[in-house]
Amino acid sequence: MATALTAFCLLVITAIPSLALTVTFVRHGESVANAADHIDTSIPGPELTELGEDQAAGVPAKLQGYGYDLTKYDGIYASTMIRTQQTAKPLSKWYEENNETPRPVTILGGEYTNPGRAGERIGVQEIGAGIFEGAPENSGLGRLGYIAVPLGWTLGARFLRIPGGENGNEFNERMTNALDQVDEESDNAVVFSHGATIMMWTLMNVNNPDLMLLLNNRLDNTDVVVVEKDAAGEWELKRWGDKEVGPANYPTKMFVNTRDLAVAPQTALYNMRQPVLALDAGAIVSTAGEGVRDVGEAGVKFVKDSVTDTVDAVRGLLPGGQSTALADSTADRPAATRTAKGLVDELKSSASDLGATLTTRTAGADDTDAPRPRLRVVADNARSDVRDAVKQTGERVKQTVDKATADVKKVVKQARDTVRKAADAA
């Protein structure tokens, strides 16, 4: 009975969607490198100047000036660089001075990484400048070269790499892992980070990006960016510096749809690197299956969201029309999506079974009466199991694609009917 009750509780917990997360990014105060006008992305990097310390001391008042209640924040985080840690201290001290529950500063990344995330790329430190390290920060070809590649990331080209630095997939991975840690520990957190890191990650991930903010509203020292993540894991930009940001318009929605479609295969290929390098047959099959699923779902989502956004835009232009998205309830969710998610679990199970089979056959190889050498037997069995797993994966992927195609046709028909009804009503 106790086992059954425990299993039931775990099932209920996993069925409950994660709560929303609010992240208030704060850029560090002026550093010695800022004052000297050169790019310095080394770790731990330079300290704050006297002006930077004054700016850091003003962070609590700045947040309150925007109308934010400091008592609502439940976590303070900083990067592995000294300048963010120094900027975070006055906010942490504010709670002590006002007899509030202490909020110590947690460092994200490096030796301070959550032990449960050992080996993962993680951190909110500045984007590594590579060959542009030491170049002028505010002018010249060095600055243009440093910012050009990350600008490509915001457009969906995450495979681009800063010469001598990281590419967009690596950057997004460490940021996502860092924010996952924040999500595990907080609901409303302040994260002290760096200008390029905050701007680029935000524009790469939110559903209402505005690239003009990057051009016309560059973040100054201790400027604030606020983003919110809903239960579905979607990020929304709420504030950029002194500017409050609203929902995305139609061109922005279409840009995001295209961006996310382009990102999906890049992420799938990036995730294949570890199992391929490790020559782990089971993990290769499982990861490949997940990649196919993610790319397939991205394609279905692109068509559905694009049609829905277009229909909303048309309805909004009609007399008396209002923007109403196509229904997306759990019951009406694409069958391909549900099947694809189940496919991943099955692939993982198949990979686990494959590993167990290999272990059993290796252990029992001494008892075989077959004339072939033990390693030949194990290798032949392994190849056979991998072929079976790949065959099963191919069949399931085909089923997923077929159902996805049917679902897309259904969505397009719904959109066509909606437009026809809206036109008749006009």
Catalytic residue among 28, 166, 290, 297: 28
Least confident piece of the model among 196-210, 213-227, 258-272, 342-356: 342-356
Q: Of 30, 38, 126, 166, which residue is the catalytic one?
A: 126
Token representation of residue 167: 């590419």
Task: Assess whether pLDDT exceeds 90 at residue 118.
Answer: no
Question: Do 83 and 28 meet the contact criterion of CB atoms below 8 Å apart?
Answer: yes
Over residues 52-60, the mean pLDDT reads 98
Q: Is pLDDT of 217 > 80? A: yes
**Amino acid (one-letter) located at 18:** S
Tens-digit pLDDT profile for residues 177-186 = 999 999 999 9
Residues of the chain with CATH 3.40.50.1240: 18-247
Give the closest residue to 182 by CA, choosing from 270, 105, 71. Answer: 105
Rounded CA Rg of the chain: 25
Q: Is the pLDDT of residue 156 over 90?
A: yes
Classify each residue of 369-399 as buried b or exposed e, where b means 16 or more C-beta atoms within 10 Å of its C-beta: eeeeeeeebbeebbeebbeebbebbeebbee
Amino acid sitting at position 165: G
pLDDT at 297: 86
pLDDT score for 86: 98
Element (H, E) at 107: strand 105-107
Homologous superfamily (CATH) for 18-247:
Phosphoglycerate mutase-like (3.40.50.1240)
DSSP classification of residue 116? G
Strand 224-229's sheet: what is its strand order?
105-107, 75-78, 188-193, 21-27, 224-229, 235-240, 243-244
Q: What are phi and psi of 352, to 5 degrees?
A: -65, -45
By C-alpha distance, which of 36, 199, 193 is closest to 125? 193
Q: Is 185 a catalytic residue?
A: no
Angstrom CA distances, 390 to 23, 149, 278, 347, stand at 41, 37, 18, 10
pLDDT of residue 97: 95
Distances (CA, A) of 424 to 2, 45, 58, 117, 335: 61, 64, 58, 57, 31
Q: Give the global pTM.
A: 0.72
Q: What percent of the chain has pLDDT over 70?
A: 66
**pLDDT at position 170 over 80:** yes
Range in 4-8, 70-74, 103-107 the model is least confident about: 4-8
pLDDT one-digit tens code per residue, 15-26? 444 458 999 999
Joined tokens for residue 18: 């994660």
Instruction: Tell me the per-residue pLDDT of 329-349, one tens digit each, with 9 for 90 and over.
Output: 333 444 434 444 454 454 455
Q: Is 50 a catalytic residue?
A: no
Q: Could you give phi then psi for residue 193, rounded to 5 degrees? A: -140, -150
DSSP tally for the chain: helices H, then strands E: 14, 7
Contact 78, 107 (CB under 8 A): yes
Cβ distance 43 to 80 under 8 Å?
A: yes
